Chains A and B, each alone.
Chain A
Amino acid sequence: MKNTLRNVFHSPRFLVGFIIFMIILLTVLIYPWFVHRDPLQGLGKGFLEPGTYLSVYDANDTDTYRVELPEAAANRLEASLPTEDRQMMIDYLKAMGVDVSGLDTSNEKMEDLLVAWNANYDEADAKKNKYEGFATQAKRNALRRLDNKIKSSNSNVTMSVVKGEGDDATVKTVNGNDFVKVDEVANSVNLPLGTDNFGRDTLTELVEATGISLLIGLIAGSIATLLGLLVGLLAGYVGGVLDDILMFIANIFTVIPGFVLLILIYSALGAESRGIVTCAVIIGITSWVWTARSVRSQVISLRNRDHVNLSKLSGHSLFRIVTTDILPYIASYVVMAFILQVSSGILAEAQLSMLGLGPNPNELPTLGLMMNWAKLFGAYTSSNAWWAYFPVIMVIALISFSLNLMNTGLDQVFNPTLRD
């Protein structure tokens, strides 16, 4: 036993798969200790990009520190001048007859553009409304505001914040070089994976969903393996009429495509009555067939071995022979089948949820439900919110990959013909 385990953990494939799986599992277990957020709590409306969000209101109330950042002004302009404004600047310079061949709206050319603007723009000249495309009052006002913005960013800017109303109102002046410390701001939220369409924190939701999906896979895999093992052992060892009956049932399950059966059962149940356990149980009882078949064939090859005959001659009961003389010999195989069943259980849940047939979406998230929401709310079409679906796909792929890698590693250890 110790030796077998050592062999298993010396298999590089098994080890890599095991490490990936353990990292996922530990993340699922440890993450809730640090983040106590309800995974289904909406934090806002719609998709928010990944990043840290600070409360402006609280930032104004926080103590300020003076930080002289040399590039502060340039950064401020870069962030506050949208592409349209930059394009308008280029268009105006062009209308004035300035050479604009080296200019565009990118951040790299920002400095050149500002130099060209400061050298050529003249407010008095602009008022004469002589240039084509800038003849209206509205255009001229826009140009003036733009110029003010550029001019003000160069100098030491200030801003007045009025708090409260009427006589109680207080005015606070904020300087351009006033900084707040992020962790002193009363309210800030770090969203490494942004939010989904409901405004939920995607990372917290993803960790919770991974845990639920693993649980579904575990329950489905256990049920499928236990059922398959029971049917396979009985059919293989007892044989005869029982074998015929059990294999007849197995054949029926083989002929009906499992996935179609799942869709039918899930649709018939309705979303309200589909808890995660129900979902897992249904996946389990529709996927035991191939375990049963392979266990049966293994048992048939074992049941006429001398050690089984000797056990019979020693007067052991059927139960004892099956559990002590047959089962240990196929245990490694059963473990491998179990790993694959867990993996396919997780995938089956993801597929079904993707089709909108998953567990009740109001209770808990699953990986498949997250994919379904991303699809329904256009995360990969209109919103282009990669953070709402790409991490989910990666987690599904990693779980499946690690489990299959563990299976191949075990196969290499227990199947002598595959050894290097």
Chain B
Amino acid sequence: MKTDEIKTAEDTRESVSFGTRDKDFSKEPLCLSGRGVTRVFHTGKVTTVAVDHVDFDFHKGELISIVGESGSGKTTLSKMLLGLLEPTDGEIMFQGKPRDISTGAKKREYWKGIQAIFQDPFSSYNVFHKIDSVLLDCINMRGGGNLPKEKKIEMMTEACSFVNLKFAELTNKYPFELSGGQMQRLMIARIFLLKPNILLADEPTSMIDACSRATILDMLLKLRDETGMTVIFITHDIGLAYYISDSVYIMEHGRFVESGKPDKVMLEPEAPYTKRLISDVPKIHEPWDLSTVDLLQDA
């Protein structure tokens, strides 16, 4: 029964153009990989291992999902990937070479290649700045600071229309005047302007209602198709991860318990944690299987 459900989902997926699941990405060059990446937090005498010796290989053009429940270390890992947090131990390789972000200039160079969309659109914007400045920053970062004003407006208008927003309506407005869905779409417009090689999307749809969620996902995948960028998708929604990913990493308590092609991970889960995540997804026309919750807590 369970397999049937998922197969139905797969059928829908195949009808969508962005399906690249069957492509073998292992032949593509590595763009981001890590060995033994660890992050430990010290709060007073309490030591928390947020990310515990994880290894990963992300290939160019791949859409990778990192799935785990709250507190499993997904966001800490994403911050290390972005270079906002230093790993306590281990090594992160960027385009095959050890990543060097020791100085401000090198960091700025690194961030031209990797960008992010954060979970909470309401806290992603500086409330004191107008929307224009967010988009102008992106143009400046791409070296377009000296372009004429008309050209800049044209670029911003193009980026906004890509995400179905009208720049003329947004200009001179403050971010808090937009809805959550519009803010998150504006974030995608930002990525559209920056065109980074890697996009790290940290639960970009978790704070948004179901209707806007589909639109946001659709735009993200469209953007990926256009630019061929690598997308690292961080989510707690295993169904969504199965639906869109080329490769899935399951994270539990700071470790990757299972990884591989989504078909392999979802249809033949080995780790009990993966099984639980799959059974926790509520399904229509079927009683919600909560037995695994107790089972796992006892274990």
Interface pair A324/B128, CB less than 8 Å apart = yes
B129 at the interface (CB under 8 A from A): yes
* Interface 9-residue window, one of B42-50, B111-119, B215-223, B236-244: B111-119
Interface size class of A (residues with CB under 8 A): 10 to 19
A311 touches B118 (CB 8 A): no
| Contacting pair A309 B126 (CB below 8 A) | no
Is B138 engaged at the interface, CB distance under 8 Å to the other chain? yes
Do the beta carbons of A306 and B124 come within 8 Å of each other?
Answer: yes
Q: Are B126 and A324 in contact (CB under 8 A)?
A: yes
Q: Give min CB distance, A234 to chain B, whole Å.
A: 16
Q: How far is the CA of A312 from the CA of B82 in the complex (A)?
A: 10
Which one of B84, B120, B123 lies within 8 Å of A312 (CB-CB)?
B84
Q: B208 at the A/B interface (Cβ < 8 Å)?
A: no
* CB-based A-B contact count at 8 angstroms: 49
Q: Which parts of A282-331 form the interface with B (CB within 8 Å)?
A: 305-307, 309-318, 324-325, 328-329
Residues A32-65 near B (CB distance < 8 A): none
A266 to B137, CA, bound (A): 51
In the complex, what residues of B have CB within 8 A of residue A310's CB?
116, 118, 124-125
Contact partner, B123, options A305, A315, A328, Cβ 8 Å: A305
* Chain A contacts for B82, CB-based, 8 A: 309, 313
Q: Is the interface of A mostly helix, strand, loop or mixed?
A: helix
Collect the chain A residues with CB atoms within 8 Å of residue B128's CB: 324, 328-329
Beta-carbon contacts under 8 Å, B87-146 to A: 104, 107-108, 111-112, 115-116, 118-120, 123-129, 137-138, 141
Nearest CB in chain B: distance from A414 CB, A: 14
- Which residues of chain B come closer than 8 Å to A328, judged between CB atoms? 126, 128
Query: Smallest CB–CB gap between A131 and chain B, Å?
Result: 95
Q: A314-B137, A314-B141 are in contact. Are A307 and B124 (CB under 8 A)?
A: yes
How far, in Å, is A319 (CB) from chain B's closest CB?
Answer: 11
Q: B200 to nearest A CB, angstroms?
A: 10
For A329, the chain B residues whose CB sits under 8 A away are: 128
CB distance from A293 to the nearest CB of B (A): 18
Contact residues in A for B137 (Cβ distance below 8 Å): 314-316
Q: B residues within 8 A CB of A318?
A: 104
List residues of chain A with CB within 8 A of the CB of B126: 307, 311, 324-325, 328
Q: Which of B120, B125, B126, B137 has the most CB of A within 10 A?
A: B126
- B129 adjacent to A306 (CB under 8 Å): no
- Cα–Cα distance between A312 and B115 once the two chains are bound (Å): 10
CB distance from A313 to the nearest CB of B (A): 5
List, in ascending order, chain B residues with CB within 8 A of A316's CB: 137
- Docked-complex contact B118 and A317, CB < 8 angstroms: no
Chain A residues in 8 Å Cβ range of B107: 312, 315
From A312, A315, A318, residue with most partner B Cβ within 10 Å: A315
**Is there an interface contact between B124 and A315, defined as CB atoms closer than 8 Å?**
no
Q: Within B229-262, which residues are at the interface with A (CB < 8 Å)?
A: none
Query: Once the chains bind, are A315 and B118 in contact (CB under 8 Å)?
Result: no
Q: Considering the chains assembled together, what is the distance between the CA atoms of A324 and B127 in angstroms?
A: 10
Given known A314-B138, A314-B141, A315-B111, contact A307–B123 (CB-CB < 8 A): yes
Distance of B80 from chain A, by nearest CB (Å): 13
> Are A313 and B104 in contact (CB-based, < 8 A)?
no
Residues in B neighbouring A309, C-beta threshold 8 A: 79, 82, 84, 116, 118
| Residue of A whose beta carbon sits closest to that of B124 | A306
Q: Check A317 against B138 for contact (C-beta < 8 Å).
A: no
Bound Cα distance from A328 to B111, whole angstroms: 25
Task: Report the minimal beta-carbon distance from A3 to chain B, rounded to whole angstroms.
Answer: 12
Q: Are B129 and A315 in contact (CB under 8 A)?
A: no
Q: Taking CB as reference atom, which chain A residue is nearest B137? A: A314
Q: Residue A315 contacts which of B84, B119, B120, B141 (CB distance < 8 angstroms)?
A: B141
**Closest CB of chain A to B146's CB: distance in Å?**
16
Cβ distance B135 to chain A, nearest Cβ, rounded Å: 10
Closest to A316 in B: B137
Measured CB to CB, the closest approach of chain B to A301, in angstroms, equals 12
* C-alpha gap A325/B120 in the complex (Å): 17
Q: Supply 5 A–B pairs (Cβ within 8 Å), ascending by A.
A: A306-B118, A310-B116, A315-B107, A318-B104, A324-B128
Other contacts beyond A305-B123, A309-B118: 20, CB < 8 A: A306-B123, A306-B124, A309-B82, A309-B116, A310-B118, A310-B124, A310-B125, A312-B84, A312-B107, A313-B111, A313-B115, A314-B138, A315-B107, A315-B111, A315-B141, A316-B137, A318-B104, A324-B126, A325-B126, A328-B128
Which residues on B are within 8 Å of A, measured CB to CB?
79, 82, 84, 104, 107-108, 111-112, 115-116, 118-120, 123-129, 137-138, 141
Top 10 nearest A-B pairs by Cβ distance? A315-B108, A306-B118, A306-B124, A328-B128, A314-B137, A307-B126, A306-B123, A313-B111, A315-B141, A325-B126
